[in-house]
Amino acid sequence: MQIATAVFREPNQPFSIETLDLAPPQAGEVLVKVAAAGVCHSDWHLMTGATKHSLPVVPGHEGAGVVTAVGPNVTTVRPGDHVALNWAPNCNHCFYCLNDKPSLCETYIEPIWAGTMLDGSTRLSKDGQPVYHFSGTACFAEYTVVPEPCCVPLNKDIPLTIAALIGCAVTTGVGAVLNTAKVKPGSNVVIFGIGGVGLSTILGAKLAGAQRIIAVDIHESKGDIAIDFGATDFVIGGPHVTDEVRKLTAGRGADYAFEAIGIPAVQEQCLAAIRPGGLVVLSGISPMGSGTNLPGAILTRQEKTVTGSYYGSANTARDFPFYADLYRRGLLNLDKLVSRTYSLDQINAAYADMLAGEGARGVIVFD
List Cβ<8 Å contacts ≥24 apart for 90-94.
Answer: 90/149, 90/316, 91/149, 92/149
How far is Cα of residue 122 from the mean position of the Cα atoms in its chain?
Answer: 23
Dist CA 346 CA 143 (whole Å): 18
Query: Quick one: which of 109, 104, 122, 114 has its CA closest to 53?
Result: 114
Lowest mean pLDDT among 288-297, 324-333, 355-364: 288-297
- Ramachandran sector of residue 66 (left: φ over 0; alpha: ψ -120 to 50; beta: rest): beta
Q: How many CB atoms lie within 10 A of CB 361?
A: 26
Query: Quick one: which of 15, 355, 311 has its CA closest to 173?
Result: 311
pLDDT at 72: 97
pLDDT of 152 over the 90 cut: yes
Residue of 105, 150, 168, 270 marked active site: 168
Pairing label, strands 274-282, 212-217: unpaired
pLDDT in tens, 165-188: 999 999 999 999 999 999 999 999
Q: What percent of the residues of the chain are helix, what percent strand, and what percent coil, each to the nearest 5?
A: 35, 25, 40
pLDDT at 316: 96
- Output the pTM of the full model: 0.94
pLDDT band at 157 (very low <50, low <70, confident <90, very high): very high
Residue of 41, 45, 53, 82 marked active site: 45
β partners of residue 243: none
Q: What percent of the chain has pLDDT over 90?
A: 88
- Residues 51-59 have a mean pLDDT of 93
Q: Which residue would you say has higher pLDDT here, 356 or 76?
A: 76
Is 45 among the residues known to form the active site? yes
Summary count for the chain: helices (H), strands (E): 12, 18
Mean pLDDT in the chain? 95
Lowest mean pLDDT among 209-213, 284-288, 301-305: 284-288
Pairing label, strands 129-133, 29-38: unpaired
pLDDT at 219: 92
pLDDT of 153 over the 90 cut: yes
- Residues 188-194 have a mean pLDDT of 97
Dist CA 222 CA 193 (whole Å): 9
pLDDT of 356 over the 90 cut: no
Residue of 41, 53, 61, 82 marked active site: 61
Is 42 among the residues known to form the active site? yes
Dist CA 202 CA 144 (whole Å): 32
Domains and CATH numbers, the chain: 2-153+333-365 (3.90.180.10), 171-309 (3.40.50.720)
Dist CA 7 CA 31 (whole Å): 19
Length of the chain: 367
Residue of 42, 103, 135, 187 marked active site: 42
Dist CA 219 CA 198 (whole Å): 13
pLDDT at 318: 96
Within 13 Å and on the Cβ side, how many CA atoms surround 36? 22
Is 313 among the residues known to form the active site? no
Dist CA 24 CA 360 (whole Å): 35
pLDDT at 129: 97
Dist CA 137 CA 126 (whole Å): 18
pLDDT band at 45 (very low <50, low <70, confident <90, very high): confident
Q: What is the DSSP letter of 167?
A: I
- Residues 325-352 have a mean pLDDT of 95
Dist CA 270 CA 227 (whole Å): 20
Q: How many CB atoms lie within 10 A of CB 300?
A: 9
- Residues 100-121 have a mean pLDDT of 93
pLDDT at 265: 92
Q: What is the DSSP letter of 345?
A: G
Is 40 among the residues known to form the active site? yes
